Structure 1
Amino acid sequence: MKMKLLLMLLPFLQQPIWVSASPDSPLSSPQFPSISPTSIMPAFSPTPGMQAGNEQNPTDSHKKMVIVVLVASTALGVVILSLSCLWFHYSKYPSKPNTNNAQSSDAEKALALAPCLSKFSSLKVIGKKGSVVIIDYKKIEKATNNFLECNILGEGGFGCVYKAQLDDDMEVAVKKLHCQNENAEREFENEVDLLSKIQHPNIISLLGCSINGDTRFIVYELMQNGSLETQLHGPSHGSALTWHMRMKISLDIARGLEYLHENCNPPVIHRDLKSSNILLDANFNAKLCDFGLAITDGSQEKNNIKLSGTLGYVAPEYLLDGNLTDKSDVYGFGVVLLELLLGRKAVEKVSSAQCQSIVTWAMPQLTDRSKLPNIVDPVIKNSMDQKHLYQVAAVAVLCVQAEPSYRPLITDVLHSLIPLVPVDLGGTLRVAEHGIVNDDATCQQT
């Protein structure tokens, strides 16, 4: 059986294998078969004589090697030429960056900076209306000179406010909040969220915010003349505030509150209106600030809100029953109006263990025309028209009524004050060099 198989395979074993003539030749690889006529012919004429003739040809292997080298060189040249063309194209026509993707990456960076910022409904695109601008903490640190003590403008419940100067020489105010509990964190988020959507001449402007660990920063426009509280009860004791200037400040406050109550949708209740939360710019224009406790009317069950505010400014119904409405802000406004009129603090110590509110002390005298002039702030005592004094006192009395339904709307208060403020200060009163001109004829509401 084995012998028979060998006899059957013998003709095939005698055939020449041309592609493997030399073990060291590149043609030993099946990828490069010979294409010369002499290499093809033996497949059709497998005679011993032709085998010997081809085996004796010394140039056949050399020709095959030359062909392979040419093919490989050509392929390598094509690859190099293709890469060179691609490099030339991208160096001459670089791809343009996608602006939208850049903005999106900025927004994503802001969200990555502080996960809590994702709660803000207004955080959409950085740098546009209704958005929150994220400022790098290092810039805040540099702008405040590493929070130097001499740059402190004021102090609050959760931290200090610093005067700062940004790289572009813009002066700003930076509120530094230590958010080590939920209340502080909630106030930070609430203020940034509300102010990012509010724009009004009598409401402080939000410029940006920043986060570093448990510390939060809110950046505002700088108000050069500080707070109304400092002006009235600080070292100057109100000497920079004339009667007309005080009326102008009260009108500014009323305009800011009217915007919150009537123009915001949903309406906003400030909930902590007081003289320290009213700031004055270089021209004594007043702006409301500190919206950490503010709420949007209808956004939650107001009767279940935790009691917050400042003693002396909190409305009785909110203090006793927790009932909160826009009339609660009107009460706070009335207290501030009394501070402007009388030059006294909202709450003053009567003894070491007893305090008295300005409302309790002043109410019996405000309605008595014979006593009223005697309790007015001495700085302005002889500088106003008596009739105007009685009008302002009447407005204040209505605003601090114990029953909220007896208090006027802030819009009504606003229209009552406009005729008492000179034209050049935003009202309708015309004032001559030596007094009021045609007061009755020119007092009109707008």
Structure 2
Amino acid sequence: MKPITNTILSILLLLCFLFEFSSSSDTITSTRFLKDSESILSNRGFFELGFFSPPNSTERFVGIWDKRVPVPTVFWVANRDKPLNNKSGVFAVSDDGNLVVLDENYRILWNSNVSNAVVNSTARLLDSGNLVLQDSVSGTIIWESFKDPSDKFLPMMKFITNSITNEKVQIVSWKTPSDPSSGNFSFGIDPLTIPEVIIWKNSRPYWRSGPWDGQVFIGIPDMNTDYLYGGNLVIENKTYSLSIANSNEAQLFFYYLNPNGILVENQWNIEDQKWVVAWSAPETECDVYGACGAFGVCDSQRTPICSCLRGFRPENEEEWNRGNWRSGCVRNSRLECEKKNISVEMGKDQDGFLKLEMVKVPDSAGWIVASENDCRVQCLSNCSCSAYAYKTGIGCMIWRGDLIDIQQFKNGGADIYVRVPYSEIAYESGISKDMKVVIIASVVTGTFILICSIYCLWKRKRERERQTKTKFLMNNGDDMKHDKVNQVKLQELPLFDFEKLATATNHFHFNNKLGQGGFGPVYKGKLVDGQEIAVKRLSKTSGQGLEEFTNEVMVISKLQHRNLVQLFGCCVDGEERMLVYEYMPNGSLDSMVFDSTKAKVLDWQKRFNVIEGIARGLLYLHRDSRLKIIHRDLKASNILLDRDLNPKISDFGTARIFYGGNEAQARTTKVVGTYGYMSPEYVLNGQFSEKSDVFSFGVLLLETISGRKNTSFYENEDALSLLGFAWKLWRENNLVALIDQTIFELHYEAEIVRCIHVGLLCVQELAKDRPNITTILSMLHNEITDLPMPKQPGFSSNQIEIHTEGCEQNHVGTCSTNMITITSFDGR
């Protein structure tokens, strides 16, 4: 019996040991720590804690990730600013009761830093994703990861700001998708008089939600009470706490502050098995804090997006006209109370208010106890009060000094009343005092005949211009008469006088010549008002210039985007045909990137900005403009750089419009474009689509990164073209060799190599394999983390052969290569 008894006791002891181990599978104690390659799971297996390496990195971190989804998503990182260099790290509870991350020499890289920690405390991973450190005896929570978050915000977490103790619970972005260290952006509650949530960039506001009205943040359009899954802001004893409850546990979601400062709501799509973006901010340029400066209002639906409030004008007219609106606006005239230097009495010539409807109210709102009527009175009685608003749930808001970060909404927001002098009120309402009525009546009577005369002269001039344009269009191809492109109202395009353009260019002097293209010469000019322009003048010997002129006027006359060159107007005078554009002081991309001296100005950040800008311009042409447009001649010389090196796509002479909503591609018997940038299906078969532009974009991307032309490879090279060279380096896993040494920096290497990868995807031989421009932008911004493997680029192994299918055949059955136009157009 004794051996049997001993066996039973052994089994019971083993079971007790196994029970103790399994019961602590979500727990770390002073005797049970984690080594690299080990992990713990929350009770129901929702979350896992262990060691990991970010993408494209060998450094090791302690983190928490969700086990319910197949996509690796790290929600919290312990030692984000002090990585481990190898796999010998340890995560443990130290002797003083704090959580610590130790390296192989037992040096502390991170600790929970709790002053009231107790000996023999226990750390436990909860099913909410929260790691808590608690007193093993009382169960009191001493520290929790939810109060020391990384870059993500999970349901059941709370953003907290205590304006007395300065306690802050905020999320901070990663530096890059491969580097979890603290980035430039943070997100949390700003404890103003009326609280808001803010994204800061290096401690300066980058985006703001607008004030909290008890249910929603009024600066977020279309926000309703169901927003944020029942988000609620509680204010108690100077402590502000924002929480987000998740009543539906099956719906997985989180908020994420990415390295570019974008706050994203991600939801798990069960069908597609991936995270999808449900909401993000900022979304437009107008969402960025103070986009239009003081007393400016931003409207993303208008061009330009910034305008001054009524009664105000740009402080710096020159900068404002160049699209730099940060200097903001100033009053047209002083307030009445400032003139008198006292608070004005009710009645005569007092200041008043102009109403601005449905806007994101300005930053730094003050709050006073007042009814809606008293709100106006109190603001008017204080000369420092520049505006007021009354919003249910908030009450009376007033602003002193400059009004910053106003945004126009289509709906929602609030109405704000901006203080202006009496003269602006009289102008706005059309009502004035008796004396002013007499003066205005006298002036109107005295100028009526003059106005009528000017109007008649103007009308006659416009009629002559209309007849000139109509005659021009009728004389340039009967096939244009029935084309849908007539939907573009050419009459709205300004017509320049030949004499004015001749004067502006010093009579087309050689010293003002910027370059020469297939259309003709391009000249720099300056109008009498100081506006700098670039004038493309159709050469009388140009073979395709007249057709390109007509096409470009029709295509670009209604396009407006920050990454497209702006067409100011045209000139049709006798045999003269000219296009007038905005002037680009930094010329074309090829004049910069292919010049060893000038290329040094374009560091990697500037080159990435150029690449991204070109992509955004293409996105507008392919998807966002009212007409789908294929450029067909995208190349480095057609990318112009403004004063700030922002790229603008130019030269729409060969562009084509797709009118059908489902039209994906077209075919032509007349192939026009530039060798080295044209896609294989276009060169060989005359087929073009948005994927043709994607191919050209890929060539541009690789040229911009390498500083070398696609067609600059000769007998001494290992490859026939830049595409072939890039493909060779890809197969050798040596893409770093492609990077222009003037931009190479080790901490940018992964980002640059990723962009080369995107470029190779764009230049794949088959159009169906290439991504569209929307996907390309997501790839460039790391929104798509796992890139597909590229296939062999077009024109990377054999010389280009022009097949007869791609050209018009002449009577003897041969194909003329003259149908391929090789243009050289220096930037304006």
TM-score range, shorter chain: 0.5 to 0.7
Counterpart in the other structure of 2:649: 288
Counterpart in the other structure of 2:686: 322
Aligned counterparts of 2:447 and 2:611: Cα–Cα separation in 1 = 65
The 8 Å contact of residues 567 and 580 in structure 2, kept in 1 or not, is answered as yes
Match of 2:625 among 249, 259, 264: 264
Compared CA separation, residues 200 and 305, structure 1 to 2 (3 A)? farther
Counterpart secondary structure, 2:667: helix
Moved more, 133-142 or 340-349: 340-349
**Structure 1 length normalisation: TM-score?**
0.67
Within the alignment, does 1:109 sit opposite 2:464 as a pair?
Answer: yes
The 8 Å contact of residues 202 and 286 in structure 1, kept in 2 or not, is answered as yes
Compared CA separation, residues 365 and 219, structure 1 to 2 (3 A)? same
**Number of residue pairs aligned between Structure 1 and Structure 2:** 325
Within the alignment, does 1:133 sit opposite 2:497 as a pair?
Answer: no
The 8 Å contact of residues 122 and 196 in structure 1, kept in 2 or not, is answered as no
Counterpart in the other structure of 1:245: 606
Aligned counterparts of 2:595 and 2:575: Cα–Cα separation in 1 = 32
Query: Match of 2:493, as an amino acid?
Result: V
Within the alignment, does 1:167 sit opposite 2:167 as a pair?
Answer: no
Counterpart secondary structure, 1:392: helix
How far off is 1:244 after superposition? 0.8
How far off is 1:234 after superposition? 3.0
Stretches of structure 1 that go unaligned for 5 or more consecutive residues are: 1-89, 421-446
Aligned counterparts of 1:107 and 1:311: Cα–Cα separation in 2 = 43
Aligned counterparts of 2:732 and 2:454: Cα–Cα separation in 1 = 68
Compared CA separation, residues 177 and 365, structure 1 to 2 (3 A)? same
Counterpart in the other structure of 2:437: none
Aligned counterparts of 1:324 and 1:123: Cα–Cα separation in 2 = 23
Give 1:267-346 correspondences, 5 Å limit. 267-298=628-659, 302-346=666-710
**Structure 2 length normalisation: TM-score?**
0.37
Within the alignment, does 1:374 sit opposite 2:737 as a pair?
Answer: yes
**Structure label with greater radius of gyration:** 1
Counterpart secondary structure, 2:602: coil
Counterpart secondary structure, 1:142: helix
How far off is 1:418 after superposition? 3.2
Moved more, 220-229 or 236-245: 236-245
Counterpart in the other structure of 1:389: 752
The 8 Å contact of residues 173 and 221 in structure 1, kept in 2 or not, is answered as yes
The 8 Å contact of residues 490 and 557 in structure 2, kept in 1 or not, is answered as no
Stretches of structure 2 that go unaligned for 5 or more consecutive residues are: 1-444, 475-480, 784-828
Counterpart secondary structure, 2:687: coil
Q: Which structure ranks higher in relative contact order (CA pairs < 8 Å, sequence separation ≥ 6)?
A: 1
Compared CA separation, residues 384 and 206, structure 1 to 2 (3 A)? farther
Within the alignment, does 1:409 sit opposite 2:772 as a pair?
Answer: yes
The 8 Å contact of residues 111 and 117 in structure 1, kept in 2 or not, is answered as no
Match of 2:549 among 188, 195, 202: 188
Aligned counterparts of 1:95 and 1:212: Cα–Cα separation in 2 = 30
Give 1:18-167 correspondences, 5 Å limit. 94=449, 97=452, 104-114=459-469, 115-117=471-473, 121=486, 124=489, 131-167=492-528
Aligned counterparts of 1:194 and 1:100: Cα–Cα separation in 2 = 31
Aligned counterparts of 1:122 and 1:139: Cα–Cα separation in 2 = 29
Q: Deviations over 1:165-196 (max 9, x none)?
A: 11111111111112556732111011111111
The 8 Å contact of residues 271 and 328 in structure 1, kept in 2 or not, is answered as yes
How far off is 1:246 after superposition? 0.5
Q: Deviations over 1:83-121 (max 9, x none)?
A: xxxxxxx99985962888666534321133342246773
Q: Percent identity?
A: 36
Query: Match of 2:641, as an amino acid?
Result: L
Report the structure, 1 or 2, having the larger strand content.
Answer: 2
Aligned counterparts of 1:111 and 1:376: Cα–Cα separation in 2 = 53
Aligned counterparts of 2:710 and 2:577: Cα–Cα separation in 1 = 30
The 8 Å contact of residues 367 and 394 in structure 1, kept in 2 or not, is answered as no
Aligned counterparts of 1:206 and 1:385: Cα–Cα separation in 2 = 36
How far off is 1:258 after superposition? 0.3
Moved more, 99-108 or 310-319: 99-108
Query: Match of 1:121, as an amino acid?
Result: N
The 8 Å contact of residues 247 and 417 in structure 1, kept in 2 or not, is answered as no
Counterpart in the other structure of 2:428: none
Report the structure, 1 or 2, having the larger helix content.
Answer: 1
Counterpart secondary structure, 1:283: coil
Moved more, 375-384 or 294-303: 294-303
Q: Deviations over 1:357-376 (max 9, x none)?
A: 3112221213543x211221
Query: Match of 2:712, as an amino acid?
Result: E
Aligned counterparts of 2:725 and 2:684: Cα–Cα separation in 1 = 20
Counterpart in the other structure of 1:399: 762
Aligned counterparts of 1:290 and 1:383: Cα–Cα separation in 2 = 37
How far off is 1:417 after superposition? 1.9
Aligned counterparts of 2:779 and 2:454: Cα–Cα separation in 1 = 52
Query: Match of 2:676, as an amino acid?
Result: G
Compared CA separation, residues 92 and 259, structure 1 to 2 (3 A)? closer
CA-atom RMSD, angstroms? 2.9
